[in-house]
Chains A and B, each alone.
Chain A
């Protein structure tokens, strides 16, 4: 049976929640330590979880993007493997340039922790359709890209999720994007925190399930 690889940096703290989420949808998870490269062929998909890799030093995700493991993640992405970046993971993927744009400080400068409603604009390999509810918890989640790039993202169907009520000033209310091929996706909200009703909602399941059946 194939496995899903979960990347861990020093400072990653949503790794165990992602591990449980992957197990909940019936797939075997495996850790990918930041100092080691891996063989993409061994994994069905890769997840870069949230947290505060490298303490958010210099820029969120900037130092993590240079870690050895990301060379393998880039290789996997280049081969068309599904790669998901959640929150800090999204920031790492942008800094690695596997995803377009950058995440900057929230407009009102506050760390925001709440459930938000999202619209699926386009579906990449990580699925999600219609409206879903997921929790966010971030201080630097404001998506930024230059005007021309933004237009390209919409035209090329790379805008994955948007906020119904923009919590952080993200341009075009963007909460998640994908790469051109749709296999690399990043989102600021936390699907691993929305797997069961007792968590507050189970809309996160479809995101993890899509990569198994898709």
Chain B
């Protein structure tokens, strides 16, 4: 089962990439309230049970994928060909 780990910087103070994108958008009249740039990690976990897969992914995220001091993360179950709202 594939689990997506979405990692974002914690807040605007830290996110220089996000601010750079905001500035570019602003100069092209596409202002947004905020832009944060993070990273996406996809884990193909050898589990068929969704809850177990999510639990493993969470443990992996906490072990190394994100730094809780400066980032937050979200997990998603990847279902190919669909859009998750």
Contact = CB atoms under 8 A, between A and B. Distances in A.
Interface in A38-94: 58-59, 62-63, 66
A62 B69 contact: no
Contacts of B63: 66
Interface residues of B, number: 12
Contacts of A66: 63-64
Given A58-B64, A62-B64, A63-B64, A145 B17 contact: no
A104 B69 CA distance: 11
6 contacts: A58-B65, A62-B64, A66-B63, A102-B69, A104-B70, A105-B16
Contacts of B39: 58
A168 to B, nearest CB: 10
A123 to B, nearest CB: 26
A144 B69 contact: yes
Contacts of A95: 67
Interface string B40-84: 000000000000000000000001110101100000000000000
Contacts of A59: 67
B20 interface: yes
A184 to B, nearest CB: 17
Most chain B CB neighbours (cut-off 10 Å) among A58, A95, A101: A58
A30 interface: no
